[in-house]
Structures are given as structure tokens and as C-alpha cells.
Amino acid sequence: MKVHFKKTGVVALCTILNLVCIQRVVSQDHKGKPNVIIVLVDDMGYKDVGFNGCEDIPTPNIDRIAANGVKFTNGYVTNPVCGPSRAGLITGRYQDRFGFGRNPLFAPNDIKQGLPLSEETLATVLKREGYQSMAIGKWHLGGHKELRPLKRGFDEFFGFLTGGHYYFPEDWILNDLSELTSQYSAYKTKLLRNDTRVNETEYLTDALSREAVSFISTKRETPFFLYLAYNAPHAPLQATEKYLNRFRHIENKKRRTYAAMVSAVDDGVGLLLNALESSGLDKNTIVYFLSDNGGPEVHNGSDNGPLREGKGWLYEGGLRVPFAMQWKGTIPSGITYHDPIISLDIFATVSAVSGAEPKNKLDGVNLLPFLTGKKRSVPHQALYWRQFDKGSYAIRTNDLKLVNATGKLDELFNLDRDISENENIIDRQVRMKKKCERLLEDWMSDLKEPIFLGLSHDKQYNQLHPDRYDIEKY
């Protein structure tokens, strides 16, 4: 394992109040139920945070999470596109086990277009342990009324249901789903607070940050779970002058706007961390930061650094993401953790430390013993990926990765020596190739074919479902 650990009456009254506050925190600690915050960004490049070496976009607040705890240099997600990756994260299970192998279409009449009801979300599991939960931002796990956040374990929701959204309030001109005419017209809907449309006036990223701070500022008596899913820096590339003015030195217009969008997220993370600290909740709160997949460099100006390709690919650029975690007082600060981990481990870790018992078998592992040094082995013997429509797959075991990114050619790379996946060593590693093939075959024997048509099937889906936006159906 590779780890680096980097007046008298008033006084009396204040003393009593302080003791009460301390006792409350101690009581929460004794119950073993820390608060949980997951900050998930969308389409961020691996090298677009300071803790991964970014030089042109300062991210001091995101970097605070890594400095307060651990940065994962080999942190992965379960799929290189948004929807399936989020399904894996929120269930703690490889999404292909339950047929979520495609990016879902926005089809509010179709209960199959999203996360199956057979699956528990992290919010559902934590609710049984007394947690209050809120989902903020991008959902993308189903638009049907039975698939929305309040039906999937969350007590509160503020955001939008589809896979993307415009950032400026003046573009939110649709009052209801009945006004939709196409997949991407949902980007124009007014935001939802729970199940009600609201008239929001702030830049979207700022509004999501505001709601996150508001949520945690009111939570004291019970443990909470906050799922803060920014859609930034996903396209369309839109930023306010406040953030654009910080990056006038960046000549490339696309990169400049992208940088402004990342900076807006960083500001929000700073407000969130400050609120935790000022409320005295920071030592009893686990905070995660990660992206849902790698950056689509050509499309949004992101930078995956030395990693090959990006969003949509099973090469490292599509799967290895900025990933950090803090739990002050429990995880030592300044750790750099090099062994491969995956977003599935968030669910497994949180359920373990909160005493929750999921009904479904998880694919992740509790990382806490590995981060505190109680376990010296690697968390995973192998990590797996599949893209059904491409016929592509990949497996990483130790430093070796077998990948078929196009459905046509198997390649084998030593990621420790060749992070950019340039040198295919498959002809020199016949035994390892066969081992990886056996492991992949066993894993894929438990997977399902996709249960719904995806984004690339939009035209086909419309032909099969002419009532797609006939909301009166329910």
C-alpha cells in the first residue's frame, strides 16, 4: 500500500451553553452517525483542481478538502458518462447489475427511464438510521414521479431532473414539463423545490451553493446527508462576469469560461466548508469531492492532464477523476492515497460508519480502515467497467489494466509506468491477459443488458413513444 500522511453570570451562562454544545457533539460521535456531504461536479478534468496540479484555475476551497484529509490519485467512477456513473454512486453497486448501462432519456411518463425501484439509494438507507437528507442540483436518475428524489429517500430537493440545464435564470422559461417538446428543452425548465416550480433569480451554481449552506445551517438535532450535485462545468459553457473577470488572462475563450464555472463551484465549496466550521459540525461531518466522469476536453475546455482521452471512454481520462475526502479528527490530514478506489466505496464507507444495513449487496468497500492504517492491503483486487453499446470493457488489477475501448482491440497497460496508456504490453503479458479475461467473464455473468433506450436512441424512442411528453398520463 502506498500512503503518505502528510460578567460572572454571563460567563457562567456561556460556559453552560458551551458545555451543552460540546455534549451534543460528543453524543453524536458516540452514536457513530457522522453527517455526510457528497459534492459531485459534472465533466471536470482530472487536472482541473489544485490538488492534482492545476496551474491556471485556483481551487483553494476544493483543495481544502484534500488538505484536511486525503486525495486519491487513483480515484475512479463506474462509468465515463453522467447517468450510469451517478447510478453507481448513489446505490453503491455496479449499475450494470440492474440494467442502468446507458445515459437515460428524459421521459417523465416512463418509469423504466431511470433508477429501478429495486435499488436503494444512500438516502434511503440512511433514513432508516434517522438521517435527514437533501438532494441539490442535477438528478438525472429519472423524471417519472416515482423516480424523483423525494421518492428515493430524500426529504428535500432543489434542482432539476434532467441531465443538464441552462445556468442563467432568464433562460428558464418553461413553467412545467407539459411544455416540453424535446429532450434538451428540459434545460429551460424552472427549478424545482421539492415538487414545486420556483422563480429563481441567481446564477445556477450560486443558487445551488446557497441552498446547500441553508440546509446544513438548520441541521443540529439529527445527522444529515447532503448530496450536492453541481452541473458545472458541464456544457453549455455559461458564467457570470463576476467569475469571468478572474480569468481575463486565459486567451482561449472556451477554457476561460470553463475556468470561471469551476471557480464558481470552488466559491460554493468554500461557503459550505465555512458553514460547517462556524457551526461546529466540521469534525462530525464526512465530506467527499469528485467528478462524475472525466472531462470532455474538446467540448468544454477541460484538462485531463496526462490521462488518455476523456468523457465517454474507458481509457483513464474517462474514468479517473479528481477525488478527495475529509473527516476531521478521524482521517489524518494531508494523506495522499495511491491504491485504486472507486465511487462505490462512498456508499460502503458511509453505511459502515453510520451503522446502516443496505438490503442489496454492495460492490464497494469501507475505506476507513485503509485510510487510518488499520488495514495494509489494497481495498480492491480488481475494478471493472463496461459500455454495453460500444461492446467495450475494462478491468484494473493492481497496476495492470486490460481495456477494450472500442469493442475491437484488447490492450494491456501498466499504469504505474505508463499513466497515459501509450504502450500496449499485451503480447508480453499473456498470462495476465488470460487472468483478466477470466475475472471479467465472471463479473459480466452477473450483469444485465440495459433496461431502457439511452440518449443516442432519442429519435428511436420518440417513434416508439409518441406520448413521451403527454404529462396528463399521470
Can you spell out the DSSP letters for 35-63? Answer: EEEEEEESS--TTSSGGGT-SSS--HHHH
CA dihedral 430, 431, 437, 440 (to 10 degrees): -140
Residue tagged active-site, from 21, 54, 140, 144:
140
Are 89 and 115 a contacting pair, CB within 8 Å? Answer: no
**Please, is 48 exposed, middle or buried when counting C-beta atoms within 10 Å of its C-beta (0-12, 13-18, 19+)?**
buried
Q: Is 54 a catalytic residue?
A: no
Measured on CA atoms in the order 346, 352, 354, 355, is the torsion positive or negative? positive
Q: What residue type is 169 in one-letter code?
A: P
Q: How far apart are the first and last CA of the chain?
A: 53
Residues 405 and 155: their CA atoms lie apart, in Å, by 40
Exposure of 352 in the CB half-sphere (CA atoms within 13 A): 15
Residue tagged active-site, from 4, 21, 82, 465:
82
Instruction: Compute the radius of gyration of the chain from its Cα atoms.
Output: 22
Q: From residue 226, how far is each of 5, 35, 211, 322, 407 by CA, in Å? A: 28, 8, 10, 19, 38
Residues 406 and 456: their CA atoms lie apart, in Å, by 16
Q: Is 30 a catalytic residue?
A: no
Residues 230 and 234: their CA atoms lie apart, in Å, by 9
- C-alpha grid cell for residue 237? 459553457
Q: What residue type is 77 in one-letter code?
A: V
Can you spell out the DSSP letters for 381-411? Answer: S-EEEEETTTTEEEEEETTEEEEESSSS--E
Count of positions (residues) in the chain: 474
Are 255 and 48 a contacting pair, CB within 8 Å? Answer: no
Q: Which residue has the cell 429519472?
A: 142
- C-alpha grid cell for residue 69? 484529509
Q: Which residue has the cell 424545482?
A: 192
Exposure of 2 in the CB half-sphere (CA atoms within 13 A): 13
Cβ-count burial 88-99 (b if 16+ within 10 Å, e if not): bbbbbbbbbbbb
Closest CA to 272 of 326, 329, 198: 326
Q: What residue type is 242 in one-letter code?
A: K
Residue 283 phi, psi (nearest 5): -80, -10
Please identify every residue annotated as catalytic.
82, 140
